Amino acid sequence: MRPTGITIASVFIAGVLAVSTASVFIRLGLEAAHSTGPGVSLLISALRLAFATLLLVPALKGLSKAKIQPGGWAFVIGAGIFLAVHFATWITSLSYTSVAASTVLVNTNPIWVALISWLWFKQAPPPLTLAGIAIAFAGGIVVGIDGQNKAPASNPALGNTLAGLGALAVSLYYLLGREAQRRGFSIGLYAAVAYGIAAVTLLPWPLVLHTGYLSFPPAFYFWVLLLALIPQLVGHTSFNWAVKWINPVLVTLVILLEPVGASLLAFLAFGETPGPRVLLGGLVLLAGVALAATGSSRANTKADA
């Protein structure tokens, strides 16, 4: 049974509030670790997903009764791998650029969802969507060349590039996850399997980069546990549930509220004020993304009529 609009809106609100805390928890975890190297970032990604998977183990009991259709397992495995890529790139980006720049760039999902849907389902984006994509990329360029953010950013160009790659990966994650759920995975079972696959994909990498799993102070693991409980279990699972019922472009449009919440929390927690180019570029980028998503939404509405 399709949920009511009020139910979907409530889930969205809870999801946005939850994911807005992610970048702050990550930054606090990095500070607690007294390290900002890629090994620590990958450890945060892996432990976040491992903790979330452990909390979802009871959902795996439904696996024996699930009626998974052909292709379901391929989609859920692909979703888990792209989720791992998303966290590996985005969380690492926070070591090199500001919270504002990173969260703006990683939330260009509607652009990538529209383009991937074009290539995947052979549905050309309408003119309004193409105009929005052009505007958004212009804003992304402004954010990318910013050199004035006041975060502890050692390499903004690298951080911004990683955040952009994270946006592409999470777009594929949402689209593949939608297909997996349509092929028989319940939301609990899907989350448990996809998060588990992502965790297994990431867990070896800290060791490869000579980063110990248990060599950090308790505060580090506390912030990672909060990452698993709030942004992952509440935030990501909420969006994964919603993407089954409504257009994924609209889901990613709602996620655009995350940079607002994340930037506000970063200001309160760290006194981090984005540079003027980040603010200007971010506004242009988000306006372009909203325009692109609106164009896709109108096109899908006409197609369903």
Determine what percent of the chain falls in helix, strand and coil, rounding each to the nearest 5. 80, 0, 20
Q: For residue range 296-305, list pLDDT tens digits in order.
A: 667 666 655 5
Separation between Cα atoms, residue 280 and residue 141, nearest integer Å: 11
98 pLDDT tier (thresholds 50, 70, 90): confident
Identify the pLDDT of residue 78.
Answer: 97
**pLDDT given for residue 29 in this prediction:** 92
Task: Please state, for a pLDDT cut of 70, what percent of the chain lies above it.
Answer: 89
Pair 109, 169: CB distance under 8 Å: no
The domain spans of the chain are: 5-114+155-273
**Predicted confidence (pLDDT) at residue 201 exceeds the cutoff of 80:** yes
The pLDDT score that the predictor gives to residue 193 is: 95
User: Residues 6 or more apart from 183 whose CB is under 8 A from it?
Assistant: 68, 69, 70, 71, 72, 75
Query: d(Cα 249, Cα 230) in Å, to the nearest integer?
Result: 23
Q: Residue 89 above 90 pLDDT?
A: yes
CA dihedral 302, 16, 39, 273 (to 10 degrees): 110
Is it the case that residue 268 has pLDDT exceeding 90?
A: no
Residue 185 — pLDDT band, cuts 50, 70, 90? very high
Q: Judging by beta carbons within 10 Å of its beta carbon (0-12, 13-18, 19+), is residue 118 exposed, middle or buried? A: middle
Among candidate residues 43, 93, 111, the one with its CA nearest the CA of residue 252: 111
Contact 193, 183 (CB under 8 A): no
User: Would the pLDDT of 173 be above 70?
Assistant: yes
Work out the mean pLDDT of the chain and round it to a whole number.
84
Burial of 103 (0-12, 13-18, 19+ CB in 10 A): buried
Determine how many CB atoms are found less than 10 A away from the CB of residue 276: 11
Instruction: Go through the chain and tell me how many residues it has.
Output: 305
- pTM equals 0.81
